[in-house]
Structure formats: C-alpha cells, structure tokens
Amino acid sequence: MRPYRAHFRCITRCPGEYQLDEVLYRCPKCGNLLEVVHDMEALQQRSAAEWKKLFEDRYMRTDWPHGSGVWGKREWVHPHIRNENVVSMYEGGSNLFWAQRYGAKLGVEDLWVKLCGNSHTGSFKDLGMTVLMSAVKQMIADGKPISAVACASTGDTSAALAAYAAAAGIRAIVILPRGKISTAQLVQPLANGATVLALEGNFDDCMKVVQRLAAEEGVYLANSMNSLRVEGQKTVGIEIVQQFDWRVPDWIIIPGGNLGNVSALGAGLKMMRELGLVNKLPRICVAQVEAANPLYLAYKNGFDKFEPMVPQTTLASAIQIGNPVSVKKAIRTLQEFDGVVEQANETELADAVARADATGMFCCPHTGVALGALEKLVAAGTIRRSDTVVVVSTANGLKFTDFKVGYHQGKLPGVPVCQYANHPVEVPNDYGKVRDTVRRLLGA
C-alpha cells in the first residue's frame, strides 16, 4: 500500500516541493503563501464509504488521539505526525446547534450554528493549533533548533498557542495590540505562562514584528500564514457535513479577518469532493465587520484589485484586520464556491447577537457579524428560506463578557441604541412586592 504523504507547495504553483518539517512559511521563489498538498492517489486507496466509516468509528471516542475531531482525520491533515508527538486537547466534535427559534424568526427553518467556541481555549483556533504544535514537537524531537513558538494575535490565536505550548512544554511568545483585546483573552496566555508582549500598535503592526522575529531569531511562527494550521482548521467543514450524515448544506457563513479560516473551510470541503465523500459544494459567505472590510470592498469591485486598509476600532476585535495575510487563498475559495461577501456594522452585529442569545445561544461579536450578514442575505433573497444554512460561530461568548455587559447596560461603544438590552429589576426583600413585580412583568 502506498503511504499517505503531504508536502508544501506555493499557492501560485511555482515549481518546488518542501517537506512539512521544514521551517518555511512562504514560497522561496515568489514570496506567496504555501499550502499543504496531499498525495491524493494514496488517499484514493480507500473508498469514500471506507473513509466515512473510519471517521465515524473514531469520532469522539476514547482511542487516543483519534477521538479528537482533528486527529480522527489525521490522514487528511498531517499524515507524518507520530503518536508520541501529538499535542491534543480533544479538539473538534463541537455541537452543531439547530437554531430553530432564531431561524424561525428569519423564516429560515433549517438554520444551524456550528459552535466552534465550545473548545479547550474557547475558539476554533484550537483546531489548527493542535496540528502546528504537534508538528513543532516532532521537529524538536527530530533535532530542529526551535527555541520558542510565537504569534501575533487579536486574542484567540494567542490563547490557543499558549495552552498548547504549555501542554507540550514548549516556550510561547505572544504579541498583542495593547488595549485592543478582551480581558479574558489577555489573561489566557498569561495564565498559561506565555511571554506576553503588549505592543503599541494594531494587529497588522504586531504581525510585522513577529514575522521579523521568526526570520531573525529562530522562533517558529504560529500565525495562520503558517499553512499547517489551515490543515487542522480544514476539519470544520468536513465535520459539519459528517454531522449532517454526509449531506452538504446550501450555505456556510463564516466571519473573516485574516482569512485563513475561510480558506481552510474551502480546502476541507474540496478534499471531500475530490475523494468522493460528497458530490456538491455549498456556497460560502465571508462576513466582514464594516470597520475592517477590505475583502468586502474588493468583492464589490468584482475582485479587480484588493486594497489593504487601516482598520477602525470594532467590537469584533478578533477580525479587526486591514491587511489579511490569506487574502489570495480566500478569493480563490470564494470563486470556487460561488461565494459572496457581506458585512455588518457595530449595531447590526450587536443586535444580531442579542436576538440570537434570546433564543438560547451566547454568541461572540464575530458570530454576530456572521448572523448580521445572514439576516441581510435572507432579506435580499440571496439565501432562500428553504435553504439549509450553517453559521460558523468562531468563539465562545464567555470570552466577551465586557461586550455582553456593555450591551445589556446600554453602554456599548459604536452602538447608540441597544434595543434588546435586558436590565435586572431591583426589588426589595418583600414577597408581596416581588409578586406584584412578577405579575406586572408577565403581563398578568
């Protein structure tokens, strides 16, 4: 039997193949990003039905590390990692929530929210970080001189990096834009013992600094320009289809900042089609926040040209990115998936979160951007009411308590009116008065 193999290749197909354990993030010939290419002939030795059965047999079971949603699909992800180097915290397997009441309000019966924030560090970044950290652990075991792993982050990447590095016993350095991430997100890497640098500047500035550290100081770069992360994040689309018993939804909506995640989503779905597990692709919508919408603007111009921008402050802090590193991959994905780009502003995202939360969810602001985009696409008729729609929820709302508190106190920057704010009602310790208040509020 032919062994499962994968290597790096330039996304613009410059000649050259590079090993996955080479410390390399960009094409040495043209400077574009790399992508992981799998030996598809080797993977075709198993039939589609056999792959489905294998993935189902492993899914969320205890046979370590295959119970992880990522490592249960290891042949498609990073076939060269030896078990002793896997750094896993049981990623994936997150709930695909049937948003029945929220969907009914929009008139979309078959609406689902993939709760990727129900994860070890509270965001989908865990899906990619488990692969990257396992690869680093194996490189170190094989004698590669890697002193630390580093990233620039809008919050969630650093949380994932710090946790996985700590679990592996590898040093982590995170560079964050000072004052631009939530308290909970800042405390995660601190608690996990990472070296945290709060840089005066925005995310794009942090990105420049960390790339230079990687080039000059021998630290390993963990941002999503590192395409090993994309391989792990790729499982989200595969898992969604698996959770639908291998049925493909009509639409998947995903919030985008640096645009690695949409590229990953597309890569996983395409691999499924190539290996015959599905025979169609969903349409994809990237949802951007108006304060940082360079992809949306480029989309409106038919992708004639892409112009980076200086992003404005936004509640959706994890996607406050004006110069997305994976923009070329993302545009390619959108073209292959008959994709669209939609945007939501601060009020739209905050109100969408409030409407969704009132039906039992607890969404982060980025999920709010995706929901805001969904509401617009349904109103415009682009998404039909009979369509099956999946919204990718990227982080756990519990990481964004400042945002939640601000909304329900009616004091949220950029949101003049918080129309669904729910205030606590203060009552004296007097049963009669409490009862009267309850009766009044219930409209009795």
Question: Where does this chain bind Zn ion (CB under 5 A)?
Answer: 10, 12, 14, 27, 29-30, 32
- Interacting residues of 408 by C-beta distance below 8 A, sequence separation 6+: 418, 421, 422, 423
**Is residue 119 within the footprint of ligand PLP (CB under 6 A)?**
no
Provide, rounded to whole angstroms, the least separation between the CB of residue 259 and ligand PLP: 5
Quote the Cα angle for 98-101-106, to 5°. Answer: 105
With respect to Zn ion, which residue has the nearer C-beta, 10 or 286? 10
The residue from 69, 256, 339, 397 that contacts ligand PLP (CB under 6 A) is 256
Of the ranges 104-112, 210-218, 254-262, 423-431, which one interacts with ligand PLP (CB under 6 A)?
A: 254-262
Of the ranges 55-63, 168-176, 235-243, 255-263, which one interacts with ligand PLP (CB under 6 A)?
A: 255-263
With respect to ligand PLP, which residue has the nearer C-beta, 150 or 395? 395
Residue 362's closest CA among 18, 102, 66? 102
**Is residue 123 within the footprint of ligand PLP (CB under 6 A)?**
yes
**Is residue 261 within the footprint of ligand PLP (CB under 6 A)?**
yes
**Is residue 131 within the footprint of ligand PLP (CB under 6 A)?**
no
Interface of this chain with ligand PLP, residues 371 to 410, rule: CB under 6 A: 394-395
Write a three-state SS string for 147-213.
CCEEEECCCHHHHHHHHHHHHHCCCEEEEEECCCCCHHHHHHHHHCCCEEEEECCCHHHHHHHHHHH
**Is residue 185 within the footprint of ligand PLP (CB under 6 A)?**
no
**Is residue 255 within the footprint of ligand PLP (CB under 6 A)?**
yes
DSSP output for 224-265 = TTSHHHHHHHTHHHHHHHHHTTTPPPSEEEEE-SSSHHHHHH
With respect to ligand PLP, which residue has the nearer C-beta, 226 or 242? 226
The residue from 77, 213, 225, 364 that contacts ligand PLP (CB under 6 A) is 364
Provide, rounded to whole angstroms, the least separation between the CB of residue 238 and ligand PLP: 17
* Cβ(244)–Cβ(277) below 8 Å: no
**Is residue 223 within the footprint of ligand PLP (CB under 6 A)?**
no
Element (H, E) at 430: none
**Is residue 257 within the footprint of ligand PLP (CB under 6 A)?**
yes
Enter the tokens of residue 254: 């995903």
Provide, rounded to whole angstroms, the least separation between the CB of residue 224 and ligand PLP: 5
For residue 396, report the phi and psi dihedrals to the nearest 5 degrees. -80, 130
* Cβ(112)–Cβ(250) below 8 Å: no
Enter the tokens of residue 185: 């997100």
**Is residue 222 within the footprint of ligand PLP (CB under 6 A)?**
no
Whole-angstrom distance, CA of residue 345 vs CA of residue 382: 19
Please report, as ranges, the residues that interact with ligand PLP according to CB under 6 A.
123, 125, 156, 224, 255-261, 318-319, 364, 366, 394-395
